[in-house]
């Protein structure tokens, strides 16, 4: 766990160059320009995993990330957070492809942040609750569709902003089930942890695979919160909370951000 936390902190700290000669994220070049921009535009896209839900301060990992850039890199940062609760990957893809507001924000951004996947699982929940399938089988088509949507979204982002123009990164989704059996819906309760591992691993595979193929960087929240097995209790570590269920707590958002190093 400690090693994974250190890895996340190291990757986040390396995201923003102090000059055009720096290499953010280790794998991508600095935005191509004659001089570093006076204002760094950060655009966040996704669902409630990116809005700051679960964080009493309202900052979320995006706000804390921006604060890190200001405090540790001395940058002037402007954040446009277009994430919305309940937004699914197909809706996000449509916005990136054709919504003027979204596309304009992306074209102006030096940093694009992605956090999505949780809302897509609602369709699988509905199938399972209706008895149309069992456990993982209910989520397989949903997760396959997510993979197609996500890779198409990242491809579209790169068509709008090349690796030399913008840093691109995405978070994976933690397994919210371990330790939350008392709040998990009854239709999912008996196999929630196992299904949660399947969901989070599938999302991780799609998210990290797409980012790696398109010169982005994947921040592995799933493994940092739930360990290599995917079954560790993130609530016990105070990284998630059940009051605003089931999102990263302020401490968890800070770990993803993070503010402190």
Phi/psi at 72 (nearest 5 deg)?
-90, -25
CA distance 11 to 219: 8
pTM of the model: 0.86
Domains in the chain: how many in total? 1
For tokens 């309940």, what's the residue? 86
CA distance 215 to 213: 6
pLDDT at site 243: 84
Average pLDDT over residues 178-184: 86
Q: What are 181's two structure tokens? A: 């059996």
* H-assigned helices in 14-99: 48-51, 60-73, 89-98
Output the CA angle 181-185-189, nearest 5 degrees: 45
Name the DSSP class of 260.
-
| Residue 189 within a domain | yes
**To 10 degrees, what angle do helices 136-160 and 192-213 make?**
20
| Residue 58 within a domain | yes
pLDDT at site 35: 64
**pLDDT tens per residue, range 227-250:** 999 999 999 999 999 888 889 999
**pLDDT tens per residue, range 7-48:** 444 444 444 433 322 223 223 333 444 467 889 999 999 999
* Order of strands, sheet of 40-46, starting from the edge strand that comes earlier in the sequence: 77-81, 40-46, 111-115, 167-171, 217-219
| Residue 217 within a domain | yes
| Residue 261 within a domain | no
Tell me: cis bond preceding 258? Omega within 30 of 0 counts. yes
CA distance 245 to 176: 9
CB atoms within 10 A of CB 8: 20
| Residue 245 within a domain | yes
Range of the domain at 154: 2-256
Of 140 and 245, the structure prediction assigns the larger pLDDT to 140
Indicate which CATH number applies to the domain containing 113. 3.40.50.1110
| Residue 146 within a domain | yes
Q: Reply yes or no on whether the pLDDT at 143 is more than 90.
A: yes
Q: What are 19's two structure tokens? A: 């000059």
For tokens 């405090």, what's the residue? 71
| Residue 244 within a domain | yes
**pLDDT tens per residue, range 77-90:** 999 999 999 999 99
Average pLDDT over residues 109-133: 95
CA distance 146 to 156: 15
Q: What are 59's two structure tokens? A: 């900052």
9 by Cβ neighbours in 10 Å (0-12 / 13-18 / 19+) ranks as middle
CA distances to 68, 192, 261 from 255, in Å? 12, 25, 9
């Amino acid at each position: 766990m400690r090693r994974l936390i250190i890895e996340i902190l190291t990757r986040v700290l390396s995201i923003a160059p102090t000059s055009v000669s720096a290499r953010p994220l280790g794998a991508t070049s600095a935005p191509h320009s004659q001089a570093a921009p006076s204002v760094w535009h950060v655009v966040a896209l996704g669902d409630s995993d990116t809005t700051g839900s679960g964080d009493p301060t309202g900052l979320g990992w995006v706000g804390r990330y921006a604060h890190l850039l200001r405090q540790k890199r001395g940058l002037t940062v402007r954040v446009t957070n277009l994430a919305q609760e309940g937004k699914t990957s197909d809706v996000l893809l449509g916005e990136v492809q054709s919504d003027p507001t979204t596309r304009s924000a992306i074209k102006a951004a030096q940093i694009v942040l992605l956090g999505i996947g949780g809302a897509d699982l609602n369709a699988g929940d509905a199938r399972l609750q209706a008895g149309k399938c069992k456990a993982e089988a209910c989520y397989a088509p949903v997760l396959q569709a997510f993979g197609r949507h996500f890779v198409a979204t990242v491809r579209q982002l790169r068509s709008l902003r090349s690796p030399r123009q913008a840093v691109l990164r995405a978070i994976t989704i933690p397994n919210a089930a371990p330790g939350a059996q008392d709040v998990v819906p009854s239709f999912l309760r008996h196999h929630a942890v196992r299904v949660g591992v399947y969901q989070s691993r599938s999302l991780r595979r799609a998210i990290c695979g797409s980012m790696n193929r398109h010169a982005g960087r994947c921040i592995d929240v799933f493994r940092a919160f739930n360990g290599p097995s995917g079954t560790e209790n993130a609530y016990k570590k105070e990284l998630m909370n059940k009051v605003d269920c089931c999102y990263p707590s302020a401490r968890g958002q800070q770990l993803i951000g993070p503010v402190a190093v």
